[in-house]
Amino acid sequence: MSVRRRLVIGNWKMNGSKAENQQLLSDLVKLQNAAAVNEAAELAVCAPFPYLQQVADILKDSVIGWGGQDASEHAKGAYTGEVSVGMLAEFGCAWAIVGHSERRAYHGESSDVVARKAAAAIAGGITPVVCVGETQAEREAGNTLQVISSQLEPVLALGAGAVRKMVLAYEPVWAIGTGLTASPEQAQEVHAHIRSLLAQAGAPEQRVLYGGSVKAANAASLFAKEDIDGALVGGASLVATDFQGIANA
């Protein structure tokens, strides 16, 4: 019987405004207080950088954590537009998503860069949520497990001590924001593969989240699979009742 605590993290992406965040977060806090599911599941939201202070102010007395959607591999210096782990920590972030497929696709982030970001996060006391996932074409070519292995290779090469401070997220690119969800069986196959790689790396009990059009309606069947420890949620994390519905699942 696994002792891995469930984890549901919202990824707001580039959405929100001060007014919308205020409404969403205060609704979430109210729902959390009413639901009292927080013993079972750990919750967090990853907001755009400019809103981290607002998020911290609203969530500081709640059980909901928060984090950034990326973090620089560098500590400081001439890296225009980047945000360091130290800066995230100053705003109380416990989490940083690294290697999201949108960063890999639109910002050319390689798996080596993602591994360095994960290492920087750990060094700064923040838990990286390291995302991996195959494209539709890679899946159709039968390459899913090889793609996942190669994306994880530099990350797992950081060593057991580092890997034990990470959360991984399997996010098939074809399921992100598309309304398509991997079936629980498709997801479990990849999660089991990731679990075996984690075991080889000396960290078999790290949590592995699923992400890709998770909704309240499909969360329970995904979470029923033995190697799925929670979810990284995009679109549905922008609606308090939807996000809470996933947490309840």
User: Interface with ligand PEP by CB under 6 A: which residues?
Assistant: 11, 13, 171, 176-177, 211-214, 232-236
Nearer to ligand PEP, 201 or 231 (CB): 231
Closest CA to 127 of 72, 85, 73: 85
Place of tokens 């996932």: 133
Q: Which of 73, 171, 191, 193 is catalytic?
A: 171
Give the Cβ contact number of residue 205 at 10 Å: 12
Which residue's CB is nearer to ligand PEP, number 68 or number 201? 68
Active site residue 171: yes
Separation between Cα atoms, residue 16 and residue 30, nearest integer Å: 19
Catalytic pick from 100, 134, 191, 193? 100
Facing residues of 209 across strands?
169
Specify the 3-state DSSP secondary structure of 132.
strand
Least separation in angstroms between residue 204's CB and ligand PEP is: 24
The two three-digit tokens of residue 193, written as one number: 């593969």
CA torsion, ordered 78, 86, 231, 16, to nearest 10 deg: -70
- Residue for token digits 């959390």? 32
Q: CB nearer to ligand PEP: give 45 or 201.
A: 45
Task: Compute the least distance from the CB of residue 178 to ligand PEP, in Å.
Answer: 7
Q: Which is nearer to ligand PEP, 117 or 201 (CB)?
A: 117
φ/ψ of 188, rounded to 5, equals -60, -40
Annotated catalytic residues are: 100, 171
